[in-house]
Amino acid sequence: MDQSRLIAVGQMTSGDDVDRNLDACARLCRAAKQQGAALLSLPENFAFLGRGDGETLARMEPLDGPLFARFRALARDHQLWLSFGGFPERASDTHAHNAHVVVDDAGNIRAVYRKIHLFDVELGVSQYRESAAIMPGREVVVANSVVGRLGLSVCYDLRFPGLYQTMSARGAEVLLVPAAFTLMTGKEHWEPLLRARAIENQCFVAAAAQTGRHNDRRDTYGHAMIVDPWGTVVAQCRDGEGIAVATVDADWIATVRRRIPVHAHRRADVYGPA
């Protein structure tokens, strides 16, 4: 394996105890480092997952605040690039951004994406209204990293292919999809959507995930995985906490794109640019 291009995705069960969540993230960092990964992606809500909007807002702070500093220190301590898949970054007195932050192995922030698509849906008796506490972002983010050029997203973004087409058009090689996918939708949609985004954009997709029962109101699907540009699931987590690792093979990306040159065949003159 090319160790410099080895990426890991993490799977965990966050709750409302920040210290316990930090300990879980540290365990995932140690496991990723032991396997030679250069970058570990952590899921949405890695720092905190409570029962309601009020608890989330109580935890929000700027990215230079003391809470996120504790998690940034993990990158420096383990000499590992980290993708923090969804943090409540203060946006106003009443709303946070759901911020996906990439940090290098010295703990420096290299890129910030603020979730664009907010999860306001009804699933049977369960209702979700992310917009009650979260302010949507407005910027597509693609950033260089130790494992290649990253396209950043969060969870529900996965259902909007135009976002990923824009990122791949801007040179993304790896699409990061950290998530806390619901148990109900995860069973039916998680893997098919991840494989579709990989196939149509001819990119690796690395999807960190929350899993299991977080409280009496929230269960998540898990199945953190890495999908290659051909749509093959090349690594996947089992139940519970853990990591999955795979090599981001630039030659394989190039081969897939030569075989079926969809990027060259897109008809922006007919249906607009990505």
Residues in the chain: 274
Specify burial of residue 247 (Cβ count, 10 A radius: 0-12, 13-18, 19+): buried
- pLDDT band at 82, cuts 50/70/90? very high
Q: Catalytic residue among 25, 155, 203, 237, which?
A: 155
- Mean pLDDT over 249-272 rounds to 95
Residue type, 65: G
- Mean pLDDT over 50-74 rounds to 92
- Mean pLDDT over 253-274 rounds to 93
Spatial CB neighbours of 93, under 8 Å, sequence gap ≥ 6: none
115 noted as active-site residue: yes
pLDDT of 231 higher than 70: yes
- What kind and span of H or E run contains 16? none
- Mean pLDDT over 193-198 rounds to 98
- pLDDT band at 125, cuts 50/70/90? low
- Mean pLDDT over 135-146 rounds to 98
Mean of the per-residue pLDDT values for the chain?
95
- pLDDT band at 78, cuts 50/70/90? very high
33 noted as active-site residue: no
Q: Catalytic residue among 115, 173, 203, 237, which?
A: 115
Q: Catalytic residue among 29, 44, 89, 173, which?
A: 44
pLDDT of 37 higher than 80: yes
Annotated domain spans of the chain:
3-260
203 noted as active-site residue: no
- What kind and span of H or E run contains 105? none
Spatial CB neighbours of 108, under 8 Å, sequence gap ≥ 6: none
- pLDDT band at 206, cuts 50/70/90? very high
pLDDT of 184 higher than 80: yes
Spatial CB neighbours of 267, under 8 Å, sequence gap ≥ 6: none
pLDDT of 3 higher than 90: no
The pLDDT, as a whole number, for residue 160 is: 98
Q: Which comes out higher in pLDDT, residue 96 or 272? A: 96
Structural contact between residues 150 and 176, judged by C-beta atoms closer than 8 angstroms = yes
CATH architecture of 3-260: 4-Layer Sandwich (3.60)
pLDDT of 235 higher than 80: yes
- Mean pLDDT over 131-143 rounds to 97
